[in-house]
A and B are shown apart, each in its own frame.
Chain A
Amino acid sequence: MKIPRFSRKTLCIPYGVFLVFFVLVPMLVILFYAFTDSAMHPSFENFIKFFSDLTKLSTIGYSLVIALVTTVVALLIAYPVAYILARSNIKKKYIVLMLFVLPMWINFVLRVNALRELFNLLAQADGLEMIASSNYFKTIFGMVYDFLPFMILPLYTTMMKIDRSLYEASADLGGSGFTTFTRVTLPLSMPGIMSGVTMVFLPSMTNYVVSDMLGNAKVTIIGKFIYDYFGNDWHMGSMIALVLLVVVFLSTWLTGGFKAEENVRGTNL
């Protein structure tokens, strides 16, 4: 019997079909809706409305701030962890690493719900009620908690790749610990920082499950905004989604996310 042989082209068909139906077509639909009015006539009305409405610009700005704070906090937590882990000599590093990834094996909504209950408990304790009942704090906390593994993993893989002899060379040349860090570790871990930042920054602009459940739906980020608009006005909803798409595209391009050789995101996931 002849074993059927697939050419590379044939093997690409399933993904090609997927790409067309679930990436390309939906994007075109969004584009179409964004530039039409309710009578389906071409129109720039939504475009003008979007950029002349303080509410919508505020929400974009607000989401950017929330995403930025989330990213910075996540980076500040993740970097030392990844650094220590990558440079230490402990055996079975993968166990420690696994502990960080472990929460991702549990359903996300379940975890956020648990966090919500935890904050409810904390809010009853003296001295903590201010923090535990601040919707912004809780939202950021939830985002950081949720996205931390996406920051740690790329950082860890990049740092693992740094040749140890470079540290030794730095020390040989009289570099202090601090100098070694700023002149060897930091520049060489830049690709990891970049992909970690992209992987945290972008989803935290739209992850409205967190802002709804932990922010009590009183914190409105751009993802929720789009959802609300899609309840009644698809055209404006699409326009906001399109603006978000542009923001995402720009920031991915700027952080070098399209470069193949630096592609470390998602490694080990």
Chain B
Amino acid sequence: MSGKKVLSVLLAGALLLPTLGMLAGCKQEEVTVLKVYNWEEYIDEGGEGSYVYDLLEEEGMEPEKEDAPPIIEDFEKWYEEVYGEKVKVSYSTFGTNEDMYNELKLGNVYDLLCPSDYMIMKLANETKEDGSPYLEKYDKSFFDPDYEVNGEKVNYYIQNVSPFIREKFETNAGLDTPESEPRWSEYAAGYMWGTTGFVYNPEHVKIEDLEQLGWQTFTDQRFRKKITAKDNVRDTYFAALGVTFEEELKAYRARFLDGSITQEEYTKAVTAIFNATDEETISKVEPRLMDIKENIYSFETDTGKADMINGTIDLNYAWSGDAVYALDEAETPDYDKNGEPIEGTELLLDYFVPEAGTNLFFDGWVMMKDVVERGTKKAAQAFVNYMSMPESAKRNSYYIGYTSVIAGANGEMLDYADWLYGGEEEIEENFYDLSYFFPARADGEPVGIYADEEQRTCRQLYAQFPPEEVISRCAVMDYYRKDASERINELWSRVKAEVLDAWAIAVICIAVVAIALFTVFVKFGGKIDLFRPKPKKGYHKVG
């Protein structure tokens, strides 16, 4: 055992002391405890505002909180019914991929995790201190759509996942992954996905300006102190790459559009640009990052939505799921005492993706190696399958705003999208094609929905189910290999810190030393009396 491991165990032990009693209590009843570690606010938690609750309300009933339980409770019931065993989900959450990774490094054990694309790759390629891998592969049977447990075809994931997602997971979404490294699909089953883009207030920001500016929106003086960036290096470095290499990106796009390069070549080029971490790139990006810092209102992680809604800012660089959430929230008016909407309290926000391309991300469920020893692998895979039922996918997606990887074997999720955003006259110009994501319909109807122009170009539908054209110009994030990670971290610290001039540091140092010397002087009996009046003429100081 290395020194680090011993320390980690000691620390972890100290932190876990209080919970030991609880765990021991659980074991006696022979309940499997499934430890799920997911993003904050990334699952249906039931109650008011949940899918089940709102459906009941739409049907004219007056639902109670208990009528719409959290989805985890429903999973526990379902598992007992189908598998005949009890499971208790111990659910905890993290705020960033890096936080989650640190927890694992400390030696904490979970059964199921929900990292993003690049973190899946990092975990799949790295080993723990003792050389054992972090992740466990899914069973072969998990990918058999006809596999049955007690008469129920339980492999909902493979039955319902979108062919688009399957393809991305099997090919690492066009990343230049070395042959020796695993594909996502070996270790991960998808959960949510999306793009990044700008949420903007169309009353203050013209779409024409955005289209013309693209990534330069971040540094444009017109939006000075009215735009936000993310307070993490991955997303903001990505954006800065967009700002720096916009011309190159656009040139590739032009060549793709006129047919001189294929989609594959185009994706490869865009992905390479958005994942560059060499010294030369960094030296080009750094001044742009400084410009961004200078121009933005704030670096934020979760205050952007609120600042957008209350009008502090006009543009918020956001993940599409958060964008949908913000758009939903803003368009809901406030209500007065009588339950009547107050006029003028609703706000229509829009979503915009730069033409030069943006980030495409996937979050997926991975199992830690420890599931084998803990005997929780079956329950973990069952959890993923339960979350992949079209009904569950609707519930989660409705609650959090993100897009589920589930398409539904019979187009259930397409109907859901139609229910949310569709309803326009069924004429060709209203048609929004989603055939890249959803499987062909049994009745041969075209795959897509009829929606109004706003939904098709800048509102929730566009954010939640981006058209294939948007996907075509996106890049997925790769994980940073060893040296790159350090270079990028140092870059980020230079951007975040206020780098003072050498003379300023010298002045501060001198001041600090002076104060210290003064204090030491006073401490060891020296006397300095600033206020002692001088003796008047004729008087003499005595003693």
Interface residues of A (CB under 8 A from B): 21-22, 25-26, 28-29, 32, 40, 54-59, 61-62, 64-65, 120, 123, 133, 179, 182-183, 186, 212-213, 216-220, 224-225, 228-234, 250, 254-256
CB neighbors of A among B264-319 (8 A): 293, 296-300, 303, 307, 310, 312
Give the interface segment out of B3-11, B107-115, B245-253, B414-422.
B3-11
Shortest beta-carbon distance from A129 to chain B in Å = 10
Which of A22, A54, A64, A254 is in CB contact (< 8 Å) with B14? A22
Contact, CB under 8 Å: A58 / B485: no
Interface residues of B (CB under 8 A from A): 2-4, 7, 10-11, 14, 96, 98-99, 102, 225, 231-232, 293, 296-300, 303, 307, 310, 312, 485-486, 489-490, 492-494, 496-500, 502, 504-505, 508-509, 512, 516, 519-520, 523, 530-533
Known: A40-B2, A220-B497, A256-B523. A58 touches B505 (CB 8 A): yes
Known: A61-B500, A254-B519. A21 touches B225 (CB 8 A): no
A49 CA to B449 CA, complexed, in Å: 58
Contact, CB under 8 Å: B14 / A55: no
Contact, CB under 8 Å: B298 / A58: no
A151 CA to B271 CA, complexed, in Å: 54
- Starting from the known contacts A54-B505, A216-B297, 11 additional A-B residue pairs (CB-CB under 8 Å) come to A25-B11, A29-B7, A40-B2, A55-B494, A55-B499, A56-B493, A61-B500, A65-B508, A229-B489, A231-B96, A231-B102
Q: List 22 A-B contacts (CB under 8 A).
A: A22-B14, A25-B10, A25-B14, A28-B7, A54-B502, A55-B493, A58-B505, A59-B497, A59-B498, A61-B505, A61-B508, A62-B500, A120-B310, A182-B531, A217-B298, A217-B496, A218-B296, A220-B496, A225-B496, A231-B99, A232-B485, A233-B486
Shortest beta-carbon distance from A142 to chain B in Å = 14
Contact, CB under 8 Å: A54 / B499: yes
Contact, CB under 8 Å: B497 / A62: yes
Contacts of A64 in B (CB 8 A): 508, 512
Contacts of B4 in A (CB 8 A): 40
Contacts of A62 in B (CB 8 A): 497-498, 500
Contacts of A220 in B (CB 8 A): 496-498
Contacts of B296 in A (CB 8 A): 218
Contacts of A250 in B (CB 8 A): 516
- With both beta carbons as reference points, the residue of chain B lying nearest to A233 in the complex is identified as B489
A55 CA to B498 CA, complexed, in Å: 7
- With both beta carbons as reference points, the residue of chain A lying nearest to B8 in the complex is identified as A29
In order of increasing CB-CB distance, the 4 nearest A-B pairs are A216-B298, A182-B531, A217-B299, A231-B98
A88 CA to B170 CA, complexed, in Å: 78
A182 CA to B296 CA, complexed, in Å: 48
- With both beta carbons as reference points, the residue of chain B lying nearest to A230 in the complex is identified as B102
Contact, CB under 8 Å: A32 / B7: yes
Contact, CB under 8 Å: B96 / A21: no
A186 CA to B530 CA, complexed, in Å: 12
Contact, CB under 8 Å: A40 / B519: no
Contact, CB under 8 Å: B14 / A217: no
Shortest beta-carbon distance from B121 to chain A in Å = 16
Contact, CB under 8 Å: A21 / B14: yes
- With both beta carbons as reference points, the residue of chain B lying nearest to A240 in the complex is identified as B493
A256 CA to B303 CA, complexed, in Å: 41
- With both beta carbons as reference points, the residue of chain A lying nearest to B15 in the complex is identified as A21
- With both beta carbons as reference points, the residue of chain A lying nearest to B496 in the complex is identified as A220
Contact, CB under 8 Å: B493 / A229: yes
Which of B98, B299, B499 is in CB contact (< 8 Å) with A58? B499
Contacts of A234 in B (CB 8 A): 102
Contacts of A212 in B (CB 8 A): 231
Shortest beta-carbon distance from A112 to chain B in Å = 12
A251 CA to B99 CA, complexed, in Å: 32
A120 CA to B310 CA, complexed, in Å: 9
Contact, CB under 8 Å: A40 / B3: yes
- With both beta carbons as reference points, the residue of chain A lying nearest to B229 in the complex is identified as A217
- With both beta carbons as reference points, the residue of chain B lying nearest to A38 in the complex is identified as B482
Shortest beta-carbon distance from A221 to chain B in Å = 9
Shortest beta-carbon distance from B306 to chain A in Å = 9
- With both beta carbons as reference points, the residue of chain A lying nearest to B480 in the complex is identified as A232
Contacts of B492 in A (CB 8 A): 228
Among the interface residues B10, B11, B494, B508, which one has the most CB atoms of the partner chain A within 10 A? Answer: B508
Contact, CB under 8 Å: A58 / B497: yes
Shortest beta-carbon distance from B101 to chain A in Å = 9
Which of B2, B98, B231 is in CB contact (< 8 Å) with A217? B231
- With both beta carbons as reference points, the residue of chain B lying nearest to A250 in the complex is identified as B516
Contact, CB under 8 Å: B14 / A133: no
- With both beta carbons as reference points, the residue of chain A lying nearest to B499 in the complex is identified as A58
A203 CA to B141 CA, complexed, in Å: 55
A1 CA to B99 CA, complexed, in Å: 53
A163 CA to B14 CA, complexed, in Å: 49
- With both beta carbons as reference points, the residue of chain B lying nearest to A181 in the complex is identified as B531
Contact, CB under 8 Å: B523 / A254: yes
Which of B232, B310, B533 is in CB contact (< 8 Å) with A179? B533
Contacts of B494 in A (CB 8 A): 55
Contact, CB under 8 Å: A217 / B300: yes
Shortest beta-carbon distance from A24 to chain B in Å = 11
Shortest beta-carbon distance from A233 to chain B in Å = 6
Contacts of A231 in B (CB 8 A): 96, 98-99, 102, 232
A120 CA to B226 CA, complexed, in Å: 12
Shortest beta-carbon distance from B351 to chain A in Å = 23
A29 CA to B3 CA, complexed, in Å: 10
Shortest beta-carbon distance from A104 to chain B in Å = 24
Shortest beta-carbon distance from A52 to chain B in Å = 12
- With both beta carbons as reference points, the residue of chain B lying nearest to A66 in the complex is identified as B498
Contact, CB under 8 Å: B504 / A225: no
